[in-house]
């Protein structure tokens, strides 16, 4: 059989996770609505890459009333346009875009590394061809290097342009005897001298915010901390804190790491960030933009850690770096995040889930699904790529941590160009792939296109509905007959023995 994307007819008119084409690897997604379209601004990984952000910026968009129809106009900006581009700093990291008071669109980003500065490019259209504009600078013309210029986020707050940035490493919370050594490590990592770091009260770690003048480059108000300097005795303490925060605080271990993102929900400012756990997006709220933030909780984990009591020892996927945002599209709020593929952090794909902010500002953590942006449950008819699984585990999945991991089930590919095939590979006994949610009230068959040799059990909401035996080096289709299933159910494909690859899920 051919394996081209056009054969996955289950995708027609429906949004799935990941919501971009299978061969697209966009991460660090900031989604904004401009003029009736939702625009996705993110970094660009490559398929099977070995570093973060190896591609140029390519921005996708979709009509707000059809979030299954994401398209791109091609490359919008290349890091080679930046005057600081070099072979050592050749990739552009997580960006954000804001509409200026002049109606133009401004792209904020940093080249690879922690040294800064924050660069700016400009365009008349959200997804057009951006031109390099300049670096964020102080009024005296010097580059903005206070704290750590990294992962910029921007918002137009009623005419005030607010810039957020920063990262956090536990240098200032190490035992006193080791701090001189770690201060030198910190200085080298962030392109500062030990004296410059010591001169900043409280050090240079953590998220900060400042405002910009109308030229979108010049700092209007100097950066101030969004979260406390020393988090050891605050709700933002991390599990690196010394001493550890007393038990009883539900937010222990969810301190800020990176990936600043800012929104307003009603009259509240919502600060979204990646925690030190590296697999979860957390949030904090305040009635002002430059401080006073109260920890809210976890929005989403790319390992579903925290859902139904799941802990990191039972993560539902290989976990790793995360970065995302929240956005209201129409009447619905969503959280945007990325998942990992290829057993690494370097080929990430965008996903989304519905979230439900409450009147008191709270937002409950949401589970991972295969139907993210879809208006309802996925149809129980058609062929879906096996790669839309929301869980893929062998029961002891790793945290990849900027490395390639072998011997685990993973979304991967083989071939190049138009001949490339994306599939779930490395399914052995004890592994399963989970898909949720489907309306199977009229479904009479659940089939799998797979290859390899082994047994596969098909489960619906955890209950077995049949077993399939595969024994072929080529892709083959096997099906179990079903009836009387529900309108919102999960499908689990559990490998009982052998070694299998999965290409597609066929519902009849």
What residues form DSSP beta bridges with 477?
449
The H or E element containing residue 196 is helix 194-199
Q: Give the pair of three-digit tokens for residue 359.
A: 């009147």
Cα separation of the two ends of the chain: 18
Q: Using CA atoms, how far apart are residues 403 and 416, in angstroms rounded to an integer? A: 23
Q: Using CA atoms, how far apart are residues 379 and 247, in angstroms rounded to an integer? A: 45
Residues 458, 493 contacting (CB under 8 angstroms): yes
Residues 141, 154 contacting (CB under 8 angstroms): no
A 10 A CB-CB count for 383 gives 18
Q: Using CA atoms, how far apart are residues 256 and 2, in angstroms rounded to an integer? A: 46
Q: Using CA atoms, how far apart are residues 367 and 223, in angstroms rounded to an integer? A: 35
* Count of CA atoms in the C-beta half-sphere (13 A) of 241: 24
Q: Give the pair of three-digit tokens for residue 274.
A: 């990646």
Among the options 258, 280, 304, 492, which is catalytic?
258
Q: Give the pair of three-digit tokens for residue 71.
A: 């398209």
Active site residue 28: yes
Helix (H, G, I), strand (E, B) or coil at 259: strand
* Count of CA atoms in the C-beta half-sphere (13 A) of 80: 7
The H or E element containing residue 184 is helix 179-190
- Dihedral of the CA atoms 56, 353, 267, 162 (nearest 10)? -10
Catalytic residues: 28, 258
């Amino acid at each position: 059989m051919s394996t081209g994307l056009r054969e996955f007819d289950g995708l027609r008119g429906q949004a799935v996770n990941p919501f971009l084409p299978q061969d697209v690897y966009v991460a660090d997604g900031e989604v904004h609505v401009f003029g009736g379209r939702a625009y996705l601004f993110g970094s660009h990984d490559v398929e099977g890459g070995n570093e973060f952000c190896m591609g140029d910026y390519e921005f996708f968009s979709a009509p707000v009333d059809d979030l299954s129809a994401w398209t791109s106009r091609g490359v919008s900006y290349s890091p080679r346009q930046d005057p600081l581009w070099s072979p050592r700093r050749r990739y552009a990291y997580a960006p954000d875009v804001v509409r200026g008071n002049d109606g133009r669109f401004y792209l904020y980003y940093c080249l690879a590394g922690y040294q800064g500065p924050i660069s700016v490019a400009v365009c008349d259209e959200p997804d057009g061809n951006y031109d390099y504009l300049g670096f964020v600078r102080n009024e005296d013309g010097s580059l903005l290097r206070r704290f750590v210029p990294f992962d910029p986020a921007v918002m137009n707050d009623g005419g005030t342009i607010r810039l957020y940035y920063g990262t956090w490493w536990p240098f200032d919370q190490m035992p006193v005897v080791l701090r001189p050594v770690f201060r030198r490590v910190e200085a080298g990592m962030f392109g500062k001298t030990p004296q410059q770091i010591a001169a900043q009260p409280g050090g240079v770690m953590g998220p900060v915010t400042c405002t910009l003048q109308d030229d979108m480059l010049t700092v209007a108000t100097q950066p101030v901390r969004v979260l406390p300097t020393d988090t050891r005795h605050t709700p933002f303490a991390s599990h690196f804190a010394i001493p550890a925060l007393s038990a009883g605080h539900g937010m222990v271990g969810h301190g800020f790491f990176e990936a600043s993102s800012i929104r307003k929900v009603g009259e509240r400012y919502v600060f979204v960030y990646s925690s030190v756990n590296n697999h979860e997006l957390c949030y904090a709220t305040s009635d002002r933009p430059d401080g006073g933030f109260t920890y809210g909780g976890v929005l989403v984990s790319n390992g579903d850690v925290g859902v139904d009591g799941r802990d990191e020892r039972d993560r539902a996927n290989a976990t790793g770096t995360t970065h995302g945002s929240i956005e209201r599209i129409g009447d619905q709020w969503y959280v945007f995040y990325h998942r990992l593929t290829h057993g690494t952090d370097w080929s990430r794909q965008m996903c989304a889930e519905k979230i439900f902010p409450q009147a008191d500002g709270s937002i409950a953590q949401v589970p991972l699904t295969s139907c993210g942006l879809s208006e309802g449950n996925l149809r129980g008819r058609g062929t879906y790529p096996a790669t839309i699984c929301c869980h893929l585990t062998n029961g002891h999945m790793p945290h990849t941590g900027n490395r390639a991991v072998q011997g685990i089930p993973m979304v991967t590919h083989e071939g190049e160009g138009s001949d490339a095939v994306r599939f779930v590979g490395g399914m052995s006994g004890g592994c399963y792939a989970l898909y949720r949610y489907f309306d199977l009230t009229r479904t009479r068959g659940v089939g799998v296109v797979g290859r390899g040799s082994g047994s596969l059990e098909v489960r619906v909401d955890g209950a077995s509905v049949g077993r399939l035996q595969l024994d072929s080096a080529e892709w083959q289709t096997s099906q179990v007959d079903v009836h009387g299933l529900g309108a919102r159910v999960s499908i689990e494909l559990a490998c009982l023995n052998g070694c299998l690859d999965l290409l597609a899920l066929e519902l009849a």
